[in-house]
Structure 1
């Protein structure tokens, strides 16, 4: 365990940031899963709506620094490709 005051502060800050990042990543996974299930069911309209929401959530996660911008681009690209294939 840390003895120095600044080290104790860093531990608290890290825990806070970890919890925030985990929540954001979980939200992204949920929205990605919604798109994937709509694609599996071949429901074009639901997939397009879910894709729009997922893109928004993914971009927000990228702007907050949870994901690298290229990771966001890759996720969006793969989802878009999947939706376009059923359309």
Structure 2
């Protein structure tokens, strides 16, 4: 069973990392870089409550950066630009 547990991730506990969101024009931006090969892929979520329902737009970019901090900052800037360009249409 040990081999299959490792292969399929059974019995493995994963810790959910609590990310503090950044508020921008009524949207909550959650930078969530993905560690990959010693670098960090730009990723995250944009959330907004619309008509009493929390809507979420998740994205992952192809960009890789050397530090987690840089990936978080770049994600914030990209998310702000995306919000400006698409607004609530991102949730359709």
Q: TM-score, normalised by structure 1?
A: 0.27
Structure that is richer in strand per residue: 2
Q: TM-score, normalised by structure 2?
A: 0.27
